Structure formats: C-alpha cells, structure tokens
Chain A
Amino acid sequence: MNIHTYEKLWLVAAMVLIVGFIATITYGSVGLGITMVGDQQPTIEPSEISDDERFGEPRVEHVGENEYEAYVVAQTFAFSPDPIEVPANSEVTFYVTARDVIHSFSVAGTNINTMVIPGEIAEMTVEFDEPGEYGIVCNEYCGSGHHDMEGMLHVVPEDEFDMTELSVDADDELELGDEAAFNVSVENRMLDDLETTATLEIGDEMLEEELTVAGGDLEETTFTVDTTDLGEGEHDWTVAIDNYEESGTLTVVEELETDDENEDDDGDNGSDGDDDENDDGETDGGEDDE
C-alpha cells in the first residue's frame, strides 16, 4: 500500500497517543489504586431491601479507625439517609442500591459518581480529607420527578463528629406525689467509648449524670424527680447530652382520671433530627411496643 511519509508519521503519532492513554489509565488503576465500580458486591432483590441487614435501615456505620461504611438506598425521588454525615479525615465506603428504577448517586463537583441499578449494589471507597458540604444529585433520568431527587453529604470536622443517639422515655401526666421517671438511653454507634454527661432540666431542677457508653453499645439511665417538688401544672423538661436534646412537657395533676398509669407512653423521638424517615419508623415502633 502506498502511504505518504507524512501520513506514516501521523499514523505513528496517533498510535503513540492511543497507547499513551491506555498506559496512563492502567497506571492510575494499578499504580495509584483508582478502582472502578465493578461486580464486587452480590445482587439484591429490590423487593427485599426493607429486610436487608445493610439496606433495611440506610445509615452510616463506623467499621474501623477512620473507616466508615454508608448504606444508601435510592428511590423515586429521594436518597436515604439524607443527609449523609461522615467525618473529615476518613475513608468511607459507599454501598448504594435502588428500590425501583435506575438512578445515579453523584456527588456534585467530585468524582464520586455511580449508576444505581435495581438488583445491583454499587461499591465505592472515598477518602475525605477536608470538611465540606456537597450536594448529591441523581443524574440518571428516573421519572417525572427526577429533577427533585437530591440529597446532601456533610463532611463534618473530625472533632464534631459522633454517632450518638439519644432517646428519652418519660411520662406525660402524673398525679401529684408520684415519682417522675425519665428513662434516658444513649446509643453510641462509634467503635470508641463515649464519655459524656447527661443532664435533665425540669422546672428549676437540674440533674446530672456521668455516662460512659461503650463503642457500639447502648447505655440507659433514669432520672427521677418527685412531682411534689414540681407542684401542679405543666412542666417543660429537657434532657441533653453533648449536642443532642430531647424535650417534653410533664403535666402534674391533683388526681388522674384513670387509675391506669400510662407506662409505655414514650417520647421516643430520634434525637438528631436527621434521618426523617428512620425517625418516623422509630416513633411508630415505640408506639407499637406494648
């Protein structure tokens, strides 16, 4: 074949360019350890997500020193959990699956980006060096409300990050002279122990208790207050631990209308106010808990 000299040179240059591209990407993968979303994860039945150990309750888990796992579910037209909160200076592995149609999980302005396909689980490990707030968008068309599908990723400073959950079980209404009991449970989902102080403020009274919650554990304590000291009427109370607060109102009356004490009336609200969906779930759970 008769090929012009310039054309030969061009041909060689083109081949060098192509081989160069492939080489740099191979280096990125092998040398720098940039891995792709692949088939590392098993499949999952979308109809069984709710019962799944990881995705039944979408959340962030602490799995090692500075290592976290985030289980995320995408569905029309929301991500769960939302926002996703992780500490700076950490390595987070995201596991993302879809409940209905194909979505994406894409953190705007970063290379955190994956398709989310029903039946499949995408796995991505990301290092977060600095605190920051990022928007999460679905960039795969998923139906008429596609443009409303968004979430947030909060990378909080390391020293402000915890995975504490506070819930308080207290009476709503008591008879004058009864003991008011505030059952406080503190869950520490970090692996490290949590040393903290729980406080109860009611009326003019202020009670304090030192608590140590072991990593991955739940600690309970009870504050008791004599209603005689409070007197008749409505009393606002607040239980606080670190940055979390739980409030309610206790009504003290002369005589209760029914003689049954409503023991199980709890104020089991998620304390961080972050996971809207889960909180609703927990509240429902509390009410069913007879």
Chain B
Amino acid sequence: MAKPTEVRTMSEAGSTYIDAFPAEAKVVRAAFYSSFLALAIGGLFGVVQTLHRTDVYRFMDSADYYTVLTAHGVLLAITFTIFFLVGVFTWAITTSLDRGVEDIRFTWAWYGLMVLGTALVAIPIFAGFTDSIDMSASVLFTFYAPLQAHPLFYLGLVLFVVGTWLAGVDWFRSWLAWKAENPDERIPLPTFMVLTTTLMWYIATLGVAIAILAFLLPWSLGLIDSVNPLLTRTLFWFFGHPVVYFWLMPAYMMWYIMLPKVSGGKLFSDPLARVVFVLFLILSVPTGIHHQYLDPGIAEGFKFIAMTNTMFLLLPSLLTAFTVVASMEHGARQRGGEGYFGWLKALPWRDPVFTGMALAGLMFAAAGFSGMINAGMNINYLVHNTFWVVGHFHLTVGTAVALTFMAVTYWFLPQVTGRALWNRSVALVQVVLWFVGMTFMSNAMHRAGLLGVPRRTAEPQYDGFEFEAAVGSVGELNAQIALGGILLTLSLALFFANVVGTAFNGKSDSLPANGYAETLSGSEDAPLVLDNLKLWTAIAVVLVIFAYTFPILSIVDRGGLFGPDVNPFPVSLDTLPVLGLVLEQYVTTALATAGELTGSIVTEVTP
C-alpha cells in the first residue's frame, strides 16, 4: 500500500481513494459523516434563530434562544468544520504522499477522542433545554467568563482539541516516514498545506488550552474562586482568531488543488501557494487582539500591533484570489474559452463541485471587504458586535468554508464510499440555493448592523427606541433574513438528500480517479527555504511572543492572575436564581446609596 514513489494518482485512470486506501477511506468517511451530523443539527438551529430574532415565528422562550445559539455556534464553527478538516487532511496526506497512515488504530483513536469530546460538550448544552437536568452551558461559542458552563463543557472541548493534536501527530508521522524514504523530494503541496496549518493550530490552541486548563475548568469545578475575565477573554481570542483560518485552510486547499482540476486546468503557481500557507502560519495567531479593539484594559498600542498584523494577513488572501482566478481562467482556456471575459462561459457551470466552489470564492471576496472594515481599528467601533459581524462570518465560515465543503463533498463522497453521487442536478440546485439564500441573509445582516442592531440577541426589538434604516426598513431586512434562512435550510435538506442517497446507491465501477490538480509552475520553482518548517514555526512563535507577551503581562498586572472579586454566573434556564441575584444587587445598591445619602445629610447638618 505504501509506495515510496511520488506519483500523482490523478494521472492514473480508474483508481478511487477507497480502492487505494480502503482503511483510511473508512476514517475519512466517518469524519465526514460526523461533520454532516453537526451540520444538520446546527443548520436546523440556524433557521430557528432567524425566525425567532426577526419575530417571524417564535415557538420557544427567548431564554432558550441562547441555548440554541450556543449549540449552533459550537456545532457549526467547531464540530462541522473541524471534523470535515480532519477528513480532508487525512485524504490529502495519504493521497499526496501516496502512502497509508502509519497505524490505523492511532487514526481511529484520535477520531474517537474527537467524538467523545463532542459528546461531552453537547451533553451540558442540550441539557440546557430542560429544567429536569441540573446542567447547562448556554455560554455561547466564546464562553466568556464570568459566564460559567458545566465542567463537562470545558472538559469536552479539551478532549476534542487533544484529538485534533493527535491527528496532527498522525499527519506528521506520515510525512516523517515518507521523508525518510524520499530525502531529496520536495514536500508535496497538499502535505505542505496540511503541515503548515497543523503547526499554526498547535500554536493557536495553546491559548484556549491555558484558558481552560489553568482557569475555566478548575473554576467551574470550584477549585479556584474567581478568574480574570479580561485574561480568559484574551486567551480565548489568542485561539479564537486563528481558528477561523483553521476552518478556512482546508477550503483554501480545495481552491488550490481541486478547483483548477475541476475547471479543466492546472494550478497557476505552486510556489505562491506555499508562500500563502507560510504567511498564514506566521500571521494567523498574533492578530487575535483585533477582536478586542473595544476592550478596556488593553492599551491602544497593543491593538495597533494586532491591526497591523491583521492587515498584512490580507496579503495571502489577495494572493489566493489571484491564483484561484488565474487557475480557473487557465482551465477555461483549456476548454476553448476565449476573450477577456468570454472564458467565463467556458467554465463547467453544470458541475456542482465547480460551481459551488466558484460561488464560495465569490462570496469570500465580499467577505474580504467587510473584513477589512472590521479590521480597521477606528471604523470597527461602528460595527463591533453588531449584526454586521454575523453577516461577515456567514460569508466566511458560512459560505467560503461551508459551501466549499459541501461542493467538494460531491467529489469526495464517491471517493470514500465507492458509490456514484445520487443526483448531480440536485447537487447543482443545492449549491446555487445556498448562494442565493446567503445573499439575502448576509447582506441584510450587514445592513442591519450598520443601524446598530446587536448580534447574539433573541429579541432585537426594544421598548424605548427603534432602529432607523436610511434605505429600506427594519421590516424589509427581517424579511430578507428570514427568507435567506429558509432558503439555506432547503439547501441543506437537498445536501443531506444527496449524502443519504449516495450512501444507499449501489457500488459503481465508473468513478473518476482519485487525485488533485497539477501545476503550471511547480515545486521546482519554489525556493527550498519555503519547505523549512522549523524556520517558519520559529518566526511564528517569535511574532506571537512579540504580540502577546506585553498585553498579557499588563492584563495580569492590572487585574491579577485570578482576577478581581467576580462571582461565577452559571448560565441556566432557571431564571429564578438569576432574578434573585439581580434583586439582591439592586437592594445592595439601594442600601448603599441610602447609607451614603444619610452620611452626606448628616455632614451637611452638623456645621
């Protein structure tokens, strides 16, 4: 099975992935199915939210909205994306190195650990729906302290992340074994992408690991009394920003190595693809503070450093835009396309794999523009934590990533099941429907954000005032959001119809061969230094130290390692204790002011 020669299997006809790597195909398939299950539940919760927020249809208590939102965020942003990623990366490593994993039991072990972690996270979240279980974790995907979840929630996250670490170990093992047998070969591009992304992930997850293991988990278990909310929040964003690149990198990989192939051409440039992934390794982590432009307690200078890094992070995405479009054009010209724009017509628009990815890329360009606004330290004040941001990341993770994943699924499913895709036309309708639905939903979210409509709110309708739209109306925006949500749900239903339909299809002998795109400018053009992973990792670590040491020291110095005297705030649906707490605070305030007033009157009377 492990052939030590680097042969691009795409050039050999007839051999699917499951033929070449039957054992690995099973793991990849399991990872995909886990990912799709999360997508199904998370997606369903998504439409529930659009209908609830816009007040089109409310069937649950608004307090339950936050439980739904927590599940939506965790299942889609973490579970769906990362399970898909480990599937794709395992495929990429085995295919591009043309060797099976070193030990399939180890591969199943990390997969199992990720499943266990997900289950442990899901239990307290879903328990939040019922009062009969004294457990909850409606802390949203960001779990900012002093909001406190059940310890199982934090424990599950740890196990899930450890699972991904072990997956990374698995990929590195494969590469090292391959390298020992091929000392003079360049790292194949897909493997290079996997390794750089994994290194970035190792650095990034240190933040969340420290936040949970040193602070949040012991705190939820009652071992320590308090935490420093700004410190745990900063550690969260240390991880929270690079995690978006962790979702995005498999999509980028697909744009680089699959999109040119399905366009009928070759990747424009292998060296620049490597440059892009190196830039992501270096710049992804020292940017997290750009989520904290509005945080008191972090000096403006530190925010400025994060902003500069963030702006330079535009570079790899702009380069990707060029390479992807150039590769598509090359493909189109191979298919007989002509003219400045006429070549667009020669692209395989009837192929859902192509169309889905192309539309995802188009949406990502729009997302890039709203992202530039977010990154601007001063203009960010207008949009921070508004619905604008939700619009932004439904274009990035919700379309650039999710739509790319769904589109390539139509290519991957036959590869890992050995069965032909159930229905290509349904698949085509599905990807277009996603694009249309997201166009409605996301543009309305962006516009609502400009009016000041907040994100993460069950009922953005207030007693004292109304949001005023300069163009259109709030009602029109709500209608677009609800319509978009429904179209996206329909699209999901079609997607699952295809997944299930394919699983029940008969085995097919006439499937396309496994493989990925060749390159116009190959790895021989790439300077050797690009493959020096140790160097890039060292630079990444230095940049992280540079960007984070002083902010974190300053936060600890100001607020203490375990923070000020803050009470944990368990988020549960049982509102009575919460009300009690609020009441208690009001009474305390009232008494305190009363005391003060008495004091002041007494002093005034005395002279």
Set of chain A residues within 8 Å of B307, measured between Cβ atoms = 22, 25
Q: Is B299 part of the binding interface, using a Cβ–Cβ cutoff of 8 Å?
A: yes
Chain A CB within 10 Å — which of B229, B571, B597 has the most?
Answer: B597
Set of chain A residues within 8 Å of B586, measured between Cβ atoms = 277
Shortest distance from the beta carbon of B141 to any chain A beta carbon, whole Å: 10
In the complex, the answer to whether B294 meets A119 with C-beta atoms within 8 Å is: no
In the complex, the answer to whether A145 meets B63 with C-beta atoms within 8 Å is: yes
Q: Is B591 part of the binding interface, using a Cβ–Cβ cutoff of 8 Å?
A: yes
Within 8 A of B (CB), among A244-270: none
Q: Which of A133-141, A190-198, A206-214, A230-238 contacts B (4 or more CB under 8 A)?
A: A133-141
Set of chain B residues within 8 Å of A113, measured between Cβ atoms = 294, 381-382, 384-385
Across the interface, A2 reaches (CB within 8 A) one of B144, B146, B326, B525, namely B525
**How many residues belonging to A are interface residues under a CB distance threshold of 8 Å?**
91
Given A36-B300, A101-B147, A106-B454, the answer on whether A22 and B308 have CB atoms closer than 8 Å is yes
Given contacts A150-B465, A282-B594, 14 further A-B contacts (CB under 8 A): A1-B271, A7-B272, A50-B593, A99-B585, A112-B381, A113-B381, A114-B294, A118-B146, A118-B566, A138-B454, A139-B455, A141-B66, A143-B147, A144-B571
In the complex, the answer to whether B296 meets A120 with C-beta atoms within 8 Å is: yes
Given A1-B527, A14-B318, the answer on whether A36 and B303 have CB atoms closer than 8 Å is yes
Given A50-B588, A119-B564, the answer on whether A41 and B385 have CB atoms closer than 8 Å is no
Q: Is A177 part of the binding interface, using a Cβ–Cβ cutoff of 8 Å?
A: no
Question: How long is the Cα–Cα vector from A45 to B308 in the complex, in angstroms?
Answer: 33
In the complex, the answer to whether A37 meets B295 with C-beta atoms within 8 Å is: yes
Question: How long is the Cα–Cα vector from A134 to B452 in the complex, in angstroms?
Answer: 11
Q: Is B48 part of the binding interface, using a Cβ–Cβ cutoff of 8 Å?
A: no
In the complex, the answer to whether A117 meets B295 with C-beta atoms within 8 Å is: yes
Set of chain A residues within 8 Å of B297, measured between Cβ atoms = 39, 43, 117, 119-120
Which residues of A come within 8 Å of B, CB atoms? Answer: 1-4, 6-7, 10-11, 14-15, 17-18, 21-22, 25, 28-29, 34-39, 41-47, 50-51, 56-57, 75-77, 80, 96, 99-102, 104, 106-123, 133-135, 137-148, 150-152, 218, 277-278, 280-282, 284-286, 288-289
Q: Is B359 part of the binding interface, using a Cβ–Cβ cutoff of 8 Å?
A: no
Given A119-B564, A288-B598, the answer on whether A140 and B385 have CB atoms closer than 8 Å is yes
Given A46-B564, A113-B385, the answer on whether A281 and B293 have CB atoms closer than 8 Å is no
Across the interface, A139 reaches (CB within 8 A) one of B233, B385, B525, B589, namely B385
In the complex, the answer to whether B596 meets A15 with C-beta atoms within 8 Å is: no
Question: How long is the Cα–Cα vector from A42 to B384 in the complex, in angstroms?
Answer: 24
Given A77-B582, A100-B146, the answer on whether A120 and B230 have CB atoms closer than 8 Å is yes
In the complex, the answer to whether B593 meets A152 with C-beta atoms within 8 Å is: no
Shortest distance from the beta carbon of B228 to any chain A beta carbon, whole Å: 7
Given A120-B297, A135-B464, the answer on whether A282 and B597 have CB atoms closer than 8 Å is yes
> Can you spell out 25 A-B residue pairs with CB atoms less than 8 angstroms apart?
A10-B318, A10-B319, A18-B311, A25-B376, A29-B304, A36-B377, A39-B298, A44-B564, A46-B565, A47-B564, A80-B589, A101-B146, A106-B385, A108-B451, A108-B453, A109-B451, A113-B382, A119-B566, A120-B295, A120-B296, A139-B386, A140-B456, A147-B65, A152-B464, A277-B593
Q: Is B218 part of the binding interface, using a Cβ–Cβ cutoff of 8 Å?
A: no
Which residues of B come within 8 Å of A, CB atoms? Answer: 62-63, 65-66, 69, 138, 140, 144, 146-147, 228-230, 233, 268-269, 271-272, 292-300, 303-304, 307-308, 311-312, 314-315, 318-319, 322-323, 326, 372, 375-379, 381-382, 384-386, 451-460, 462-468, 521, 525-527, 554, 558-559, 563-567, 569, 571, 573, 575, 578, 581-582, 585-586, 588-598, 601-602, 604
Given A1-B526, A111-B382, A282-B597, the answer on whether A38 and B300 have CB atoms closer than 8 Å is yes
In the complex, the answer to whether B593 meets A15 with C-beta atoms within 8 Å is: no
Across the interface, A56 reaches (CB within 8 A) one of B326, B527, B596, B604, namely B596
Set of chain B residues within 8 Å of A121, measured between Cβ atoms = 296
In the complex, the answer to whether B298 meets A38 with C-beta atoms within 8 Å is: yes
Question: How long is the Cα–Cα vector from A120 to B456 in the complex, in angstroms?
Answer: 22
Across the interface, A14 reaches (CB within 8 A) one of B315, B463, B567, B589, namely B315
